[in-house]
Amino acid sequence: MDNICVRVKDVTKQFGKHVVLKNINLDIMEGEIFGLLGPSGAGKTTLVKELSGLDIATSGENTVLGQKMPELKTINRIGYMAQSDALYKDLSANENLQFFSSLYGLKGKKQKERIQVVMELVDLTNHLNKLVSDYSGGMKRRLSLAIALLHEPELLILDEPTVGIDPVLRKRIWNAFYQLNKKGTTIIVTTHVMDEAEKCDRLGLMRDGSLIAVGTPDELKQSTNSSSIEEAFLVYGGEVNED
């Protein structure tokens, strides 16, 4: 549990003059569920995109699983689930899974086995051969998650995995996270839902491109004398409001 899985060092990201990430420093340990919490526009997605190799920092360094990102071999060890469901709607769930698993080099019996396992995990086994265009929003979300899990990644990066999903389904998805976590998968989740934040081992609070606090949910509440993460966030957030 003490090994560092992700190290973000002095990372700044600029799009033109617009600064999206301001000097971020963060360590995420192996085997933890780490939540990035903050309002939309805080820079969460930009940060996780850098960690998954899709983007690079303007300055500073991202190290993931001991490798400076972006690096193709490391990308192979990361599971990434984007904010939008990136699925081929004209293909069936099975065809989507086959396609993505081939990209990770899974084939034949192994491929079939993995598809079975991940679909069971997200509870979609009965809908394997349905066209994705016939899936509901929640089912698509779960299928996206299943695809991210196909190659048994050591690090799972999930960008708003439960946005627009009802509480029952959200609970089910979180159960899947816990199961994976128990097996040693490190999970990074971005969210702007406060009650979801409570479920993480540790949290990073983000606002306007800055990481304003890091700690376990309890630590964050205690050090601000708040009864909820929401209150704690407001206390931390207030300090940086002037810029």
Partner 1 sequence: MRIKALTKRILRQIVRDKRTLGMLIFAPIIVLTMLHLVFNGESYIPKVGLVDIPDSLSANMDFSDAEVTTYDNARDAEVDLATQKIDGYITIADGNPSIYLEGSDPTVNGETLRWIQSTFANLQESHQQKLDITYLHGSTDMGQFDFFGPVLLGFFVFFFVFIIAGVSFIRERTTGTLERLLSTPLRKWEIVTGYVLGFGIVTMIQSTIIAAYTIYVLDMMMEGSFFYLLVIILALSFTALTLGILISSFANNELQMIQFIPIIVVPQVFFSGLFNLETISDWLSWIGPVTPLYYAAEALRDVMVRGYGWNEIYMEIFVLLGFSILFMILNILALRKYRKI
Q: Extract the tokens encoding 121.
A: 């995990």
State the minimum distance, in angstroms, from the CB of residue 147 to partner 1. 8
**Measured from the CB atom, is 17 or 73 closer to partner 1?**
73
Q: To the nearest whole angstrom, how small is the minimum distance from the Cβ of residue 54 to partner 1?
A: 5
Binding site for partner 1 (CB under 8 A): 52-56, 70-73, 75-76, 78, 80, 82, 84-91, 95, 98-100, 102-105, 107
**What CA–CA distance (Å, rounded) separates 148 from 118?**
9
Neighbours of 93 (CB within 10 A): 26
Which residue number, 190 or 210, has a Cβ lying nearer to partner 1?
190
Residue 24 Cβ vs partner 1, minimum distance, rounded to whole Å: 18
CA distances from 206 to 8, 40, 110, 179, 235 (A): 14, 10, 40, 27, 13
> Please, which residue, 19 or 91, has the CB nearer to partner 1?
91
Question: Which tokens is 226 given?
Answer: 């708040």
Secondary structure of 74-117 in HEC code, one letter for each residue: HHCCEEEECCCCCCCCCCEHHHHHHHHHHHCCCCHHHHHHHHHH
What's the closest the beta carbon of residue 220 comes to partner 1, in angstroms?
A: 30
Pick between residue 165 and residue 229 the one whose CB is nearest to partner 1: 165
In the complex, what is the shortest distance from the CB of residue 155 to partner 1, in angstroms, rounded to a whole number? 12
CB of 203 to partner 1, least distance (A): 24
The rounded distance, in Å, linking the Cα atoms of 30 and 65 is 9
Radius of gyration of the chain (CA): 18
| Complex with partner 1: residue 53 or 204, whichever CB lies closer | 53
Return the number of the residue (104 or 174) whose C-beta is nearest partner 1. Answer: 104
Both tokens assigned to 78: 């990361």
Neighbour tally for 27: CB within 10 Å: 14
Tokens in use for 3? 């090994």
